[in-house]
A and B are shown apart, each in its own frame.
Chain A
Amino acid sequence: MTRLATDRLVPRNVHPGAWWLWAIGLATVASRTRNPLLLLLVLAVAGYVVSARRSHAPWARAFIVFLKLGLIVIAIRTLAQVLLGTPLPGTVLVTLPEVPLPDWMAGVRLGGEITAPSVMAALTEGLRLATVLACIGAANALANPKRLLASLPAALYEIGVAVVVALSFAPSLLTSVHRIRGARRLRGRPDRGVRGMVSVAMPVLEDALERSLSLAAAMDSRGYGRRANLTAATRRATAVLTLGGLIGICLGTYGLLDGTGPPALGLPVLLVGVAAAGVGLAFAGRRTVRSRYRPDPWRLPEWVTTLSGVAAAAASIATGILMPGDLAPQLLPLTELPLPLLATVGLLLALLPAWVTPPPPDGMAAAPLSSPRATRTDVANSEPPADTTTSPSQERADRDAATPSTAATGPPVPRESRR
């Protein structure tokens, strides 16, 4: 197999960073347009890629969750507009009884006429938010959030671990709520209703705290937080560079996404910010002694994925400059909605990852490894041993590697793999 074919066909995890950049590209398109056709296209593209490339792991269900969240957002946005907002002039759909409000609430209206344009505008606004949410959901479903955190620069490692602990806190909290509610039932106390929930809260929190403490103890015992010594000056320079860089990134992103600010606030500030933060992080990285086990590689599929996201975003930005009316069109009548060619082509490019990226390894599945496909995955994942020359220092690190007798014992057949 050629290198290219290997990259595309052999199942492996695509670098989580690539998926996130791709998703951010799509989210940029969504946040810059109020054209429902383009928004629906973004949703379709994200949905297609997710269904083609997600694994069976628990986090792969995130997309559906975010879609549901999006529906709720649309509903709330529309209801708020219909009940509270000032109506846009146009065809009146329904007239609700208007509730008279005191003078100091001027500008707020409760009830009254509901017009087609205002409903349509609210729906589109909601759809835009929902689409941005769906893009985040797509990134979550395609990339294990913990793996993304693991690929953070060494300096951000500790923040990353804090986030990891928080991430595992939420699902374990749900499990303990479930378990402890069951236990209440076993003590003969109500397990439903408000009182049941409130009395469960205390034991659940205790349980979660205890769990966090034992996790912290385990992490400490396993060497978390070891660090090398650095001078005070380096530490200060690091802090200034990192903080300044992060502020730059925030300002630049805002300028880029908003589209109404001065052009100088967009890309240039973002780039300067990224550079400063990068140098800062590189400095700070020297503080930790950590190394990475099997980092996800960044190869051609990752480049294509990232660039396709960037292309979609760039096409929509270009459309905004060339034909601003197409991104924020007159919403009614629906038959006259424009579909800008450039932005559409850009979005279709973002479909590429569905074909050019390798499929995810099936081993992440919760189900037992029994399908022939899974066997292929295992073969694919055990890369040939690295033929690097071993340095003397490595030799020393390896001096206590397992003796031949342990290696020769071979794998005992695990009895529990088929449950």
Chain B
Amino acid sequence: MINFDQVTISYPEAAGPALADVDLHVPEGELCLVVGRTGSGKSTLLRAVNGLVPHFTGGTLHGRVTVAGRDTADHPPRELADVVGMVGQDPASGFVTDVVEDELAYTMESLGLPPDTMRRRVEETLDLLGLADLRHRALSTLSGGQRQRVALGSVLTAHPSVLVLDEPTSALDPPAAEEVLAALQRLVHDLGITVLLAEHRLERVVQYADRMVHVPGDAAPLQDGSPQTLLATTPVAPPVVELGRLAGWDPLPLSIRDARRQAGDLRVRLAELPPNGTPHRTPGEQLAVTCELAVTYGPVVALKGVDLDLREGEVIALMGRNGAGKSTLLRALTGLNRPDAGAARVVGSDPATLRPKELVRKVGFVPQEPADLLYADTVAAECAAADRDADAPEGSCRALLERLVPGSDPAAHPRDLSEGQRLGLVLAIVLTARPPVLLLDEPTRGLDYPAKRRLVTILRELAADGHGIILATHDVELAAAAASRTVVVADGEIVVDGPTSEVVVGSPAFAPQVAKILAPQRWLTVEQVADALAVTP
């Protein structure tokens, strides 16, 4: 269905080609997973499928890309719209209309389908993706998960034979992600759609994949094969695979179910060992506190009666479904949202009244759109500005960046960085001021596993230094690895507040993979298990 023959893609002003000599053949009805480190060229590969590369982005493509027999060289993206459905990383930026139902119909209108066909397909898609209740809603009022499902639906209505998805679950909470993936699997199984999917959160998708393509980056040749064989060696691997590698399981398990069936021995070995939790220092002085905090947006109540305190050395994972009020809570702690009732205090003062210069020394915030914090033309200039803003010694921001995303080009424009590299840069900038309170909104969106591990190490070190950190995240693995405390927010209220090891193990939605595999024992991360096994061989 999708054929790449000796494809080399290069952009002007780039040192080397983005992809070199790619040969890839995806047969009909296969779900093919594209993995690779941040910035390795996954997006370029995906966008070449419907001709956006090079028709839209520029650059040169040598070789041939054919989809359903059509060559992208003489078929621009619009002529492939009936064959390829493409959903980008940020679904909201691709919305053309402003109501859910109209958005679903847009592609069909462009293709000139007859009205009653459109009518029926819209109804089918509304049901397939669980959007029926939202049909008249304005798109601007939807939450992230709802938007992602609308974006998926808007290309599905054209009944494409190929679906290309760039990180479809990266912005979704675990249940919403499962819902989207379940819908995808149904499409593959029932309609025979070919899916090409790039995703960093392998733990969510790898079990659904028939085939895996690893893009190693630096124009090295693609590795292509079944998930089992590839994952045995790739640097990116979900916790279930890492645990399998650690325990030497063969065949390598991809799903919780497979792993549990092989985990009997491991559970016996681990039963005698105490699950020593990640060492967290005992919380010290209170750094940030909210008291009966309530925030509203017009008629919508985002937060009500929230009491939360953050102490020195604590890492709090703030979890909850899309639109539960996590971001609002963080924004209230930075003074970006003023409380309608109650109060928020950071290091003894009201963040909304602080001058920017004082604010930045008390609280650091990485927003969901990390690019908002970037202004300069080059990474180097951005780092220098961060050092100045924070009165930090010269080069401290660069050093942090090097640890978080090694090998990033200091002369590159921040907007040309990949999602993950950009987030790394913003993290480095915010951490340069070493504020006592650090707030991160979805920090692992677009980060690969190695970058995530480095982030966890840095967060632990900062916590050990006495910083208080709150992470709003959907990433249960991150919460398990980094957080000492987990707070679950639902509908603007705090539902659960307790030590991570207790909160996440008890909840099927928020439990990390290792906890699910080794339940009822309380292990959270592969690292814990490895440490325990290393002590007693």
Contacts and interface: CB of A to CB of B under 8 A. Distances in A.
A binds B: yes
B402 interface: no
Contact of A222 (B136, B155, B334): B155
B14 interface: no
Which of B84, B140, B154, B179 has most A Cβ within 10 Å? Answer: B140
Interface in B307-340: 321-324, 331, 334-336
A225 B176 contact: no
A14 B537 CA distance: 76
Nearest to B55: A220
A223 B81 contact: yes
A223 B110 contact: yes
Main secondary structure on B side of the interface with A: helix
A170 interface: no
Given A406-B190, A419-B323, A217 B56 contact: yes
Contacts of B108: 291, 293
B348 interface: no
A220 B52 contact: yes
A183 B143 contact: no
Contacts of A401: 117, 120-121, 124, 159
Given A189-B389, A386-B116, A226 B130 contact: no
A186 B140 contact: no
B128 A293 contact: no
Contact of B323 (A179, A363, A416): A416
Interface in A212-257: 214-226
A414 B117 contact: no
A403 interface: yes
B491 interface: yes
A407 B415 CA distance: 43
A364 interface: yes
Nearest to A417: B133
Contacts of A293: 102, 105, 108-109, 115, 118-119, 122
B107 A222 contact: yes
Interface stretch (A43-51, A67-75, A199-207, A268-276): A199-207
B313 to A, nearest CB: 23
Residue of B117, B154, B429 with highest tally of chain A CB at under 10 A: B117
A223 B107 contact: yes
Interface in A134-189: 144, 146, 150, 161, 164, 168, 179-180, 182-189
A418 B389 CA distance: 42
Contacts of B372: 179-180, 182-183, 203, 207
Interface stretch (A16-24, A25-33, A101-109, A392-400): A392-400
A161 B158 CA distance: 20
Contacts of B433: 188
A291 B78 CA distance: 16
Contacts of A210: 415
A290 interface: yes
Interface string B73-94: 0001111111010101010011
B191 interface: yes
B168 to A, nearest CB: 15
B96 A222 contact: yes
A55 to B, nearest CB: 10
B135 A363 contact: yes
Contact of A217 (B88, B97, B336): B88
B142 to A, nearest CB: 8
B53 to A, nearest CB: 10
B45 to A, nearest CB: 15
Given A190-B356, A226-B79, A366-B141, A402 B154 contact: no
A364 B186 contact: no
A331 B450 CA distance: 80
Nearest to B386: A187
Interface stretch (B359-367, B453-461, B498-506, B522-530): B359-367
B117 A398 contact: yes
Contacts of B56: 216-217, 220
B146 interface: yes
Interface string A328-366: 000000000000000000000000000000000101101
A377 interface: yes
B48 to A, nearest CB: 12
B421 interface: no
B114 A291 contact: yes
A265 B410 CA distance: 67
A220 B76 contact: yes
Contacts of A224: 78, 96, 110
B137 interface: yes
Nearest to B187: A406
Nearest to A220: B77
Contact of A416 (B107, B145, B371, B386): B145
A364 B321 contact: no
Residue among A218, A289, A366, A403 with most chain B CB within 10 A: A218
B90 A214 contact: yes
Nearest to A404: B190
Contacts of B127: 407, 409-411
A377 to B, nearest CB: 7
Contacts of A385: 116, 119-120
21 contacts: A146-B98, A179-B369, A179-B372, A185-B335, A189-B389, A222-B78, A222-B94, A222-B154, A223-B81, A224-B110, A225-B110, A226-B112, A290-B109, A290-B110, A363-B136, A364-B99, A366-B141, A366-B299, A394-B116, A401-B159, A406-B128
Per CB-CB distance, the 9 closest pairs between chain A and chain B, nearest first, are A363-B136, A218-B94, A188-B360, A223-B81, A223-B110, A293-B105, A183-B372, A289-B112, A412-B130
Interface of A: 57-58, 144, 146, 150, 161, 164, 168, 179-180, 182-191, 199, 202-203, 206-207, 210-211, 214-226, 288-294, 361, 363-364, 366-367, 369, 377-378, 381, 385-386, 388, 390, 394, 397-398, 400-403, 405-407, 409-419
Interface of B: 50, 52, 55-56, 76-82, 84, 86, 88, 90, 93-99, 101-102, 105-122, 124, 126-128, 130-138, 140-141, 143, 145-146, 154-155, 158-159, 175-176, 179, 186, 190-191, 298-300, 321-324, 331, 334-336, 356-357, 359-361, 364-365, 367, 369, 371-375, 386, 389-390, 415, 429-430, 433, 491
